[in-house]
């Protein structure tokens, strides 16, 4: 059974950094594309970035230049490095793993940016 577990969410001051992790089990991790989303209170879930099995990446305009997505297939883990955090980055962050018709989500991790 495939399981995704996010971690790394925390309370951080504006301008700070966090690295989120998405650990996968029960799946040949290297085959899938990894996506990071976030959902702020009262708002829709939005796509932030993705990385393909080949390592190609893409970012939403709102995080381009501040966030970096990466993966370590040997550790079955995806990452989202977040720098220069702003209060508007406050949200629950989710990872998603896609491969063909297989589609899995993690439970989310809370990121709060506040002084």
Residue 41's beta-bridge partner residues? none
Please say if the pLDDT value at position 26 is more than 90.
Answer: no
Alpha carbon distance 48, 27 (integer Å): 23
Please say if the pLDDT value at position 28 is more than 90.
Answer: no
Residues contacting residue 4 through CB under 8 Å, at least 6 positions apart: 22, 23, 24, 95, 96, 97, 104, 105, 106, 107
Across 21-32, average pLDDT: 89
How sure is the predictor about 29, in pLDDT bands with cuts at 50, 70 and 90?
Answer: confident
Q: Among residues of the chain, what percentage have pLDDT more than 70?
A: 100
Alpha carbon distance 37, 43 (integer Å): 12
Alpha carbon distance 56, 13 (integer Å): 31
Query: Which residue is listed with tokens 């230049």?
Result: 65
Distances from the Cα of 24 to the Cα of 20, 89, 92, angstroms: 13, 24, 18
Task: Provide the residue count of the chain.
Answer: 115
Tens digit of each residue's pLDDT (9 = 90 or more) over 44-88: 999 999 999 999 999 999 999 999 999 999 999 999 999 999 999
SS3 31: helix
């Amino acid at each position: 059974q495939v399981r995704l577990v996010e971690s790394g969410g925390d309370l951080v001051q504006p301008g700070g950094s966090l690295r989120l992790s998405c650990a996968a089990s029960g799946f040949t991790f290297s085959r899938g594309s990894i996506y990071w989303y976030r959902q702020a209170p009262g708002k829709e879930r939005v796509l932030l970035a993705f990385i393909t099995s080949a390592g190609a990446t893409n970012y939403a305009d709102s995080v381009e230049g501040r966030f970096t997505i990466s993966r370590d297939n040997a550790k079955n883990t995806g990452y989202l490095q977040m720098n220069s955090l702003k209060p508007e980055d406050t949200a629950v962050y989710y990872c998603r793993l896609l491969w063909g018709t297989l589609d899995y989500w993690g439970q989310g991790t809370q990121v709060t940016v506040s002084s």
